């Protein structure tokens, strides 16, 4: 498989930092292929049920990961709505997939807030939080960019953040990045292609 050259352009708008990409199409992937796959250092985090978790786990399942915060006014609800539709569209074919929403706002997004937020969209989505240092380390692993705009009080602030849906392979490596505008159809095609390629590698 040929190496894909990524050229990311950051655009600040509507309270978020969007990512657009130009990339080679020889790979066959609809999203932005990360080649070689990026190994991610797991961090000690907490899920929305209060359970400690080293994230991302290497448990043999494909993973979708999205970073945001529960107070996000637009792009986070829109993207989680897309993930909800993706889960529904995949149905039983998505049994080897896991879905994670990682909060970039540990000051306001406690476990209970996260639980209420992710359950509103789909109970298959796991909310992730942790202490600020661990979260920042995890953001750096994924290359997340954030910017804070302080309001009139300590808790009155907004956050801008990069917006990608990340697809991890069975080894917990970052393989494909989807911009917020990616269609459900194109995401499903990439899931199928990643499964196929992973199975071929496992048989060698």
- Model pLDDT for residues 93-138, shown as the tens digit of each residue: 999 999 999 999 998 999 999 999 999 999 999 999 999 999 999 9
For residue 18, name the pLDDT band (cuts at 50, 70, 90): very low
What pLDDT, on the 0 to 100 scale, is given for residue 146?
76
pTM score, two decimals? Answer: 0.84
What pLDDT, on the 0 to 100 scale, is given for residue 46?
97
Q: Is 58 helix (H, G, I), strand (E, B) or coil?
A: coil
Domains of the chain: 7-202 (3.40.30.10)
**Is 70 exceeded by the pLDDT of residue 156?**
no
Tally the C-alpha atoms within 13 A of residue 23's C-alpha that lie toward its C-beta.
25
DSSP 145-171: -EEEEE-SSTT-EEEEEEEEEEEE-TT
The pLDDT tens digits of the residues spanning 181-197 come to: 899 999 999 999 999 98
The pLDDT tens digits of the residues spanning 30-49 come to: 999 998 999 999 999 999 99
**Is 90 exceeded by the pLDDT of residue 142?**
yes
What pLDDT, on the 0 to 100 scale, is given for residue 5?
36
């Amino acid at each position: 498989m040929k190496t894909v050259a990524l050229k990311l352009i950051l655009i600040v708008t509507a309270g978020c930092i969007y990512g657009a990409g130009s990339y080679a199409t020889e790979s066959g992937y609809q999203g932005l292929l990360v080649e070689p796959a990026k190994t991610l250092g797991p961090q000690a985090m907490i899920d929305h049920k209060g359970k400690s978790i080293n994230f991302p786990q290497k448990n043999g399942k494909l993973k979708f990961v999205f970073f945001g915060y529960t107070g996000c006014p637009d792009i986070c609800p829109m993207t989680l709505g897309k993930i909800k539709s993706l889960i529904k569209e995949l149905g039983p074919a998505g049994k080897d997939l896991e879905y994670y929403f990682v909060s970039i706002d540990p000051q306001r997004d406690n476990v209970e807030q996260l639980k209420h937020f992710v359950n509103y969209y789909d109970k298959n989505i796991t909310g992730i939080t942790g202490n600020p240092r661990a979260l920042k380390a995890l953001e750096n692993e994924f290359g997340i960019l954030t910017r804070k705009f302080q309001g009139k009080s300590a808790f009155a602030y907004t956050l801008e953040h990069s917006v990608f849906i990340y697809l991890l392979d069975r080894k917990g490596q970052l393989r494909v990045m989807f911009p917020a505008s990616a269609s459900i159809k194109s995401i499903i095609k990439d899931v199928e292609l990643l499964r196929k390629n992973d199975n071929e590698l496992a048989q060698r």
